[in-house]
Amino acid sequence: MQHVPFAKALLAALPLLAACAPTAAADAPPPPTTAEARAQGAALAQACDGRDGWSDPAPPARIHGDTYYVGTCGISVLLITSPAGHVLIDGATAEAVPSILANIRTLGFDPRDVKLIVGSHEHYDHMGGLAGLAAATGAQVWTSAPARASVTTGAVDAADPQFGLIDGMTPVPVANTFADGAPITLDGHTFAPVPVLTPGHTDGGTSWTWQSCEGETCVNFAFVDSLSAVSRDDYRFTDHPERVAPFAATFAKVAAMPCDILVTPHHSGSNLFPRLAGDAPLIDPTACRTLVEASRQRLDTRLAEEATN
C-alpha cells in the first residue's frame, strides 16, 4: 500500500518526539496509578450514564501516561501534558468550555500552561469551544489548511454536506496551519501529537498520532477523526463524487496508523468509556482497522441505497 511508508515514518518519529522532553510537567501532580486511573474512568462512565449531550459536563480521567480525557459526556477533548506546555485536541462546544477548564484544574494542571490547541474537524460540536479555550489559556490555535476559513470566520463551508443542518461557531484567529505528518514546534519545543490529514467527513478533517509512556511502557495513541458520510436529508453523495473520493485515501491512511489506544471525537465511536472503566480492553492494536472496515461498509451501504432510490 502507498500509505505504508507514511505509517513507518510516523512510527519512527514517535519515539524521537517522546525523547525530546520529559513526560510530566515540573509542577504537575504525580500521575494516578493504573488502578486510580481506572477508578476515574469508572466515575466518568457512571457520571455520563444516560447522558450524552455535547455540552453535558463530565469528570476528567487519565487515559494513559500524559494523556487525559477532559471532554464532556458526548464529545472527546484530550489534554496531553508536557513540561514545555500542554496540548488540547478539540474543544467541544462553546457551552462546554467552563467544564473543560474545570477538568484541567481538577487534574492539577493550570489552563494557562496549555500552549497549543488543535482539532479534528471544523464543526461546532468539536471546535465550537476553541474561541473560549484560546481566550482562557492564551494558547495558539492551529488547523489544517482546509479548515482554516471555517474556524476564522465561524461559518460552515457551503460545500459541506451538513451545510444548513449544523450551526456555525464563534470565530477564532488561527496562528498557523499544519502539514500532513509534520510535528508542530513552538518556541523550540516539538509537541507530541502529529497531524494525519484525513478528509472525508469534512475537507479539513485531521486525525492525530502520538506516543505516551508510563515508565518503560509506551503506547501509540490514535485520535481518529470522524469517518462517516453524514449530510442533510436532501444531499446525495452519489451526486458529489468529489466528496466521496477522499474517503478511500483516508480509510487506507487510518488503517495504517499506529493504533494501540484508539479515541474518536464522539467517544462512543471507539467505546471509550467502558474501556476507561476497565470493562473492555483499553489497548487494541487492531482497533483502527476495525473502525475503517465498519466505516467503509456504512459508506458503501449509503451509496448503494442512494443508487437505488
Non-local (6+) Cβ contacts of 33 within 8 A are none
89/63 Cα distance (integer angstroms): 14
Residues 56-74 have pLDDT tens digits of 999 999 999 999 999 999 9
Candidate from 10-14, 175-179, 292-296 with smallest mean pLDDT: 10-14
- pLDDT, mean over the chain: 92
Residue type, 64: H
Residue 46 structural domain: 4-308
Residues 291-305 have pLDDT tens digits of 999 999 999 999 999
202/144 Cα distance (integer angstroms): 11
Q: Which three cell numbers stand for residue 66?
A: 500524559
| Percent of the chain surpassing pLDDT 70 | 91
Residues 251-286 have pLDDT tens digits of 999 999 999 999 999 999 999 999 999 999 999 999
Angle at 198 between CA 86 and CA 261, to 5 degrees: 55
287/22 Cα distance (integer angstroms): 28
Backbone angles phi, psi at 82, to 5 degrees: -160, 160
The CATH number of residue 163's host domain is 3.60.15.10
Report the number of distinct structural domains present in the chain.
Answer: 1
Non-local (6+) Cβ contacts of 157 within 8 A are 122, 149, 150, 163, 202, 203
Residue 67: closest CA among 210, 267, 251, 225:
210
Residues 194/210, Cβ–Cβ less than 8 Å: yes
Non-local (6+) Cβ contacts of 309 within 8 A are none
Kindly report the number of other CB atoms within 10 A of residue 208's CB atom. 25
pLDDT for the residue 31: 75
205/265 Cα distance (integer angstroms): 11
Residue 16: closest CA among 276, 201, 307, 210:
210
Task: Print burial letters for 257-295: b (CB count within 10 Å at least 16), e (below 16).
Answer: bbbbbbbbbbbebbbbbebbbbeeebebeebbbebbeeb
Reported as a pLDDT band with limits 50, 70 and 90, residue 27 is low
